[in-house]
């Protein structure tokens, strides 16, 4: 798919990795709908990208009906829909057996709902719309890109909920991609390491430095624009399908 033809929805699109992806898509000539619950950052994100290239839509990705309705609105504004980028997520940090008490089930459930169920809701609704697109020369009608995490494979203490949610995203990628071959929609997932995002930036400076130094090479945190470059490459390269890139 040519990047200039992108008509994309990006969840978590007003900050962090989502905004970086939106920037890359718009810079390449595409058009984006920024889906998020964070209304405070919406105006600045749209102003940066340009009102003719970006629009904000408030959505709770855990609400199935909300997602279906907003994606339909976004497609109408975009003039089509051929890319869905799932970047919405929460950290859900906490030990299973905390100092005060065991982790409340609500904490675990909320993390899974946002990170896993939210990604599923968006992917399902997007594929339902994309299947009606006219195919390109590769018979492709769209691409869905999920965001998992290195924690899906190498979770640390305090990441039981987060790792479970991201492991679920990895797990649904291949079967979903296999199912969607009949409609010409690809499904890919990126499992990034530690990147500079709002979730990381609130950590103490010494913690961020230690995280960077723990990475074998290069010894630093990832840059959101590097994540966005990979997302753009996945869109362009029609031979990427059904796998997770770490």
Asked if residue 203 is part of any domain, the answer here is no
pLDDT over 90 at 207, yes or no:
no
Q: List, for residues 18-65, the tens digit of each pLDDT value.
A: 999 999 999 999 999 999 999 999 999 999 999 999 999 999 999 999
Which stretches of the chain are DSSP H helices? 16-27, 42-49, 64-78, 105-112, 118-130, 151-154, 160-180, 198-201, 205-213, 224-236
Query: ω into residue 218 within 30 of 0, thus cis?
Result: yes
* pLDDT bucket at 216, cuts 50 / 70 / 90: confident
Asked if residue 119 is part of any domain, the answer here is yes
HSE-CB for 143 with a 13 A CA cutoff: 27
Asked if residue 102 is part of any domain, the answer here is yes
76 lies in which domain range? 3-194+225-245
Asked if residue 149 is part of any domain, the answer here is yes
Q: List, for residues 63-98, the tens digit of each pLDDT value.
A: 999 999 999 999 999 999 999 999 999 999 999 999
Give the tokens for residue 105.
Answer: 């089930």
Q: Which residues are catalytic?
A: 162
pLDDT computed for residue 211 by the predictor: 78
pLDDT over 80 at 202, yes or no:
no
Distance CA 151, CA 115 (A): 13
Asked if residue 120 is part of any domain, the answer here is yes
Asked if residue 218 is part of any domain, the answer here is no
pLDDT computed for residue 201 by the predictor: 76
Q: Look at the chain and count its residues.
A: 246
Query: Whole-model pTM?
Result: 0.95
Domain CATH code at residue 106? 3.40.50.720
């Amino acid at each position: 798919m040519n990047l200039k033809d992108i008509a994309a929805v990006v969840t978590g699109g007003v900050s962090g990795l989502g905004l970086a992806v939106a920037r890359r898509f718009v810079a390449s000539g595409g058009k984006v709908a920024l889906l998020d619950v964070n209304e405070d950052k919406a105006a600045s994100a749209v102003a940066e990208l340009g009102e003719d290239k970006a629009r904000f839509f408030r959505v709770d990705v855990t609400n199935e009906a909300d997602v279906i309705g907003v994606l339909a609105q976004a497609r109408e504004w975009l003039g089509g829909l051929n890319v869905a980028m799932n970047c919405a997520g929460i950290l859900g940090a906490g030990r299973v057996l905390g100092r005060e008490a065991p982790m409340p089930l609500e904490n675990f459930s909320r993390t899974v709902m946002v990170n896993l169920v939210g990604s599923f809701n968006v992917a399902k609704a997007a594929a339902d719309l994309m299947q009606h697109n006219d195919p390109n020369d590769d018979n492709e009608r769209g691409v869905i890109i999920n965001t998992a995490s290195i924690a899906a494979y190498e979770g640390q203490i305090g990441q039981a909920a987060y790792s479970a949610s991201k492991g679920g995203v990895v797990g649904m990628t291949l079967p979903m991609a296999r199912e969607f071959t009949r409609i010409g929609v690809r499904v890919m997932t990126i499992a990034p390491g530690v990147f500079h995002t709002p979730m990381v930036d609130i950590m103490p400076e010494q913690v961020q430095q230690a995280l960077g130094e723990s990475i074998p090479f290069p010894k630093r945190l990832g840059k959101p624009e590097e994540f966005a470059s990979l997302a753009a490459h996945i869109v362009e390269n029609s031979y990427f399908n059904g796998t997770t890139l770490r």
